[in-house]
């Protein structure tokens, strides 16, 4: 017979429980009585699994190096292959889950406690979750936030995204730091052998795949939403003029569009394959090349589009857009050991010496040594000295390897949008 629900009281002797400030000996408090209730659903009883946090390990993460990590599943079930990367952000897991640049990747959060603020309606960065799955240490069993609309587990289940918890994320992170990003297979299917999952992980590769085609929009559309006034900051002195911007959607995050709109841009978002000639036909004041997933060398059509637009209007590249610009200018990109993923990366603006705490998410970088003369490295990542920004003033080009639209706490990099406005303004005035 299975227990469905049970109420009971616990009598606790405070002198045993209060390790820091035990009640004085004279205190009348002898025992604390705590009312508890325990329930097991009939499904749980059928499968023999108790509800969280007592669930037993029912998932495996098999890495291509042969290591096998037992874990507990939440969200969707099934079997999924992807590249495992670690993210050091303390907050913002919903923005991370909906950042299309994570397509094909499992995101492992180094912050051990995830899910405590649930998910809300406002923090979505795109129309769906494109990542392969989520790997966390501890899944909060309660949610508490004034904007919370749903638990993280329900949200992932509805979007068919797999998650695992109770896995040693510190050990996996150290392995990734030492050996570089690894391909892994996450599975809740007990019928699949470890060997089969290992073979799957070893026969899949993220390099050389066009992941942008799976995340870009199907047709052009207008974007009008601005950052909500109670969340906006630093809005004084913004130009009242309107600038017409075409934004290439390689996996664009909504906040890039909100920030551009807040700075007075009238935006048309176009698919990644939108011909340069069509873009130039509408005579935009500027073109934005967005962030996006995967290997920039796997999308030569996008590099060609960038080349055709270069020098005709001011352009701003963000992350994947920055890498495509680097290639279009004649430079090379390379895959980093484990990339940068987190909301706490220090970047130095070499033009003014200012240090920004930035949000980053990339596995590839532009090799500065490969760039032709005239291309200026404007920003460097202070953790490893890698290229974090470029400019080519002769062609009105600016680009950042990181995310000026993100709000990981600091808004240090938001000024990049003002710079883009200034670039469009000065080009317009000079025409
Ligand atoms: N956020 C992005 O645009 C990522 C760019 C590219 N996919 C990389 O991993 O480097």
Which structural domain range is residue 422 located in?
A: 212-430
Is 43 among the domain residues? Answer: yes
User: What is the pLDDT, as a whole number, of residue 53?
Assistant: 57
My answer on whether 119 and 174 are in the same domain is: yes
d(CA 351, CA 335): 26
User: What is the pLDDT, as a whole number, of residue 399?
Assistant: 98
User: What is the pLDDT, as a whole number, of residue 120?
Assistant: 96
- Could you tell me the pLDDT band of residue 235, with boundaries at 50, 70 and 90? confident
Q: How far is the CA of 346 from the centre of ligand 1 (A)?
A: 18
My answer on whether 347 and 219 are in the same domain is: yes
Residue finishing a domain among 161, 178, 202: 202
Is 149 among the domain residues? Answer: yes
Q: Quick one: CA torsion of 213, 219, 220, 226, rounded to 10 degrees?
A: -80
- Could you tell me the pLDDT band of residue 21, with boundaries at 50, 70 and 90? very low
Residue finishing a domain among 202, 226, 260: 202
My answer on whether 197 and 304 are in the same domain is: no
Is 308 among the domain residues? Answer: yes
My answer on whether 178 and 252 are in the same domain is: no
- Candidate of 86, 89, 100, 101 to mutate for ligand 1, largest count of ligand atoms within 8 Å of Cβ: 101
My answer on whether 25 and 96 are in the same domain is: no
Residue 290 in contact with ligand 1 by CB distance below 6 A: no
- DSSP 8-state code for residue 241: S
For residue 206, the SS3 value is: coil
Interface predicted TM-score (ipTM) of this complex, two decimals: 0.98
Is 114 among the domain residues? Answer: yes
* Residue located nearest, by CA, to atom 3 of ligand 1: 291
Cβ atoms of 262 and 231 within 8 Å: the answer is no
Q: How far is the CA of 130 from the centre of ligand 1 (A)?
A: 13
Is 223 among the domain residues? Answer: yes
d(CA 353, CA 32): 59
pLDDT for residue 335 is more than 60: yes
User: What is the pLDDT, as a whole number, of residue 291?
Assistant: 98
- Could you tell me the pLDDT band of residue 421, with boundaries at 50, 70 and 90? very high
My answer on whether 172 and 99 are in the same domain is: yes
- Candidate of 251, 295, 296, 319 to mutate for ligand 1, largest count of ligand atoms within 8 Å of Cβ: 319
pLDDT for residue 7 is more than 90: no
pLDDT for residue 6 is more than 90: no
My answer on whether 85 and 20 are in the same domain is: no
Residue 126 in contact with ligand 1 by CB distance below 6 A: no
My answer on whether 34 and 79 are in the same domain is: no
Residue finishing a domain among 202, 236, 255: 202
Residue 371 in contact with ligand 1 by CB distance below 6 A: no
pTM metric for this prediction: 0.88
- Could you tell me the pLDDT band of residue 11, with boundaries at 50, 70 and 90? very low
pLDDT tens-digit readout, 343-381 = 999 999 999 999 999 999 999 999 999 999 999 999 999
Q: How far is the CA of 339 from the centre of ligand 1 (A)?
A: 9
- Could you tell me the pLDDT band of residue 3, with boundaries at 50, 70 and 90? very low
User: What is the pLDDT, as a whole number, of residue 365?
Assistant: 98
> Parallel, antiparallel, or unpaired for β 138-139 and 113-114?
parallel
Least confidently predicted of 53-62, 132-141, 218-227, 317-326:
53-62
User: What is the pLDDT, as a whole number, of residue 355?
Assistant: 97
Helix 415-430 × helix 254-262 angle, to 10°: 60
**In Å, how far are 47, 334, 385, 423 from 376, measured between CA atoms?**
61, 18, 15, 16
Work out whether the CA dihedral 348, 212, 262, 239 comes out positive or negative.
positive
Domains identified in the chain, total number: 3
Is 53 among the domain residues? Answer: no
- Could you tell me the pLDDT band of residue 165, with boundaries at 50, 70 and 90? very high
User: What is the pLDDT, as a whole number, of residue 46?
Assistant: 52
My answer on whether 32 and 77 are in the same domain is: no
Range 91-108 average pLDDT:
97
pLDDT tens-digit readout, 285-334 = 999 999 999 999 999 999 999 999 999 999 999 999 999 999 999 999 99
My answer on whether 259 and 406 are in the same domain is: yes
User: What is the pLDDT, as a whole number, of residue 274?
Assistant: 98
pLDDT tens-digit readout, 38-91 = 444 444 445 555 555 568 899 999 999 999 999 999 999 999 999 999 999 999
pLDDT for residue 212 is more than 50: yes
Is 207 among the domain residues? Answer: no
- Could you tell me the pLDDT band of residue 174, with boundaries at 50, 70 and 90? very high
Say which residue, 431 or 388, is predicted with more confidence: 388
Domain at 344, CATH number:
3.40.50.880
Catalytic residues: 319, 403, 405
My answer on whether 396 and 303 are in the same domain is: yes
Residue 320 in contact with ligand 1 by CB distance below 6 A: yes
d(CA 97, CA 196): 28
> Does residue 8 have a cis peptide bond before it, meaning omega lies within 30 degrees of 0?
no
Helix or strand (DSSP H, E) at 320: helix 320-328
User: What is the pLDDT, as a whole number, of residue 231?
Assistant: 84
**Number of the ligand 1 atom closest to the C-alpha atom of 291:** 3
**Number of the ligand 1 atom closest to the C-alpha atom of 295:** 7
Angle among Cα 214, 219, 222 to the nearest 5 degrees reads 120
Is 117 among the domain residues? Answer: yes
Angle among Cα 420, 425, 427 to the nearest 5 degrees reads 95
Q: How far is the CA of 322 from the centre of ligand 1 (A)?
A: 9
In the chain, count of helices (H) and strands (E)? 11, 21
Helix ranges, 18-74 (H): 42-47
- Could you tell me the pLDDT band of residue 211, with boundaries at 50, 70 and 90? very high
Give me the chain's average pLDDT, please: 90
- Could you tell me the pLDDT band of residue 116, with boundaries at 50, 70 and 90? very high
Residue 293 in contact with ligand 1 by CB distance below 6 A: yes
Domain at 198, CATH number:
3.50.30.20
My answer on whether 90 and 227 are in the same domain is: no
Residue 364 in contact with ligand 1 by CB distance below 6 A: yes
d(CA 84, CA 105): 6
pLDDT tens-digit readout, 189-208 = 999 999 999 999 999 999 99
Q: How far apart are the first and last CA of the chain?
A: 82
Residue 253 in contact with ligand 1 by CB distance below 6 A: no
Q: How far is the CA of 224 from the centre of ligand 1 (A)?
A: 25
């Amino acid at each position: 017979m299975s227990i469905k629900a049970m109420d009971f009281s616990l009598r606790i002797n405070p002198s045993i429980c209060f390790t820091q400030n035990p009640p004085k000996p004279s205190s009348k408090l002898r025992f604390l009585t705590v009312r508890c209730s325990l329930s097991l659903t009939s499904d749980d009883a059928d499968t023999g699994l108790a509800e969280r946090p007592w669930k037993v390990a029912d998932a495996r993460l098999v890495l291509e190096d042969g290591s096998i990590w037992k874990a507990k599943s939440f969200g969707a079930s099934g079997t999924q292959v992807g590249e495992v990367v670690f993210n050091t952000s303390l907050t913002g897991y919903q923005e991370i889950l909906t950042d299309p640049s994570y397509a094909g990747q499992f995101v492992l959060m180094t912050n051990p406690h995830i899910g405590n603020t649930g998910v809300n309606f406002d923090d979505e960065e795109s129309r769906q979750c494109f990542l392969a799955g989520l790997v966390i240490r501890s899944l909060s069993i309660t949610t508490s936030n004034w904007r919370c609309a749903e638990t993280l587990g329900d949200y992932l289940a509805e979007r068919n995204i797999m998650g695992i918890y109770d896995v040693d994320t510190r050990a996996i992170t150290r392995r990734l730091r030492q050996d570089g990003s690894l391909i892994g297979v996450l599975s809740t299917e007990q019928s699949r052998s470890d060997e089969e999952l290992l073979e799957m992980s070893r026969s899949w590769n993220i390099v050389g795949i066009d992941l942008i085609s799976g995340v870009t929009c199907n047709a052009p559309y207008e974007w009008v939403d601005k950052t909500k006034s109670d969340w906006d900051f630093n809005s004084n002195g913004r130009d009242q003029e309107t600038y017409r911007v075409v934004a290439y959607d390689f996996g664009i995050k909504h906040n890039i569009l909100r920030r551009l709109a807040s700075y007075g841009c009238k935006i048309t978002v176009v698919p990644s394959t939108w011909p340069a000639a069509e873009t130039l036909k509408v005579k935009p004041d500027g073109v934005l090349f967005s962030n996006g997933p995967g290997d920039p060398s796997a999308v030569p059509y996008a590099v060609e589009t960038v080349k055709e637009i270069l020098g005709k209007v001011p352009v701003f590249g963000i992350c994947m857009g920055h890498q495509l610009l680097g290639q279009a200018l004649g430079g090379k990109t390379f895959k980093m050991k484990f990339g940068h993923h987190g909301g706490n990366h220090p970047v130095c603006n070499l033009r003014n010496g200012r240090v920004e705490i930035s949000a980053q998410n990339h596995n590839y970088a532009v090799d500065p040594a490969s760039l032709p003369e005239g291309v200026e490295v404007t920003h460097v990542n202070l953790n490893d000295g890698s290229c974090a920004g470029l400019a080519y003033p002769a062609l009105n080009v600016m680009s950042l390897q990181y995310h000026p639209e993100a709000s990981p706490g600091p808004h240090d990099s938001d000024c990049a949008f003002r710079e883009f406005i200034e670039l469009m303004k000065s080009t317009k005035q000079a025409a």
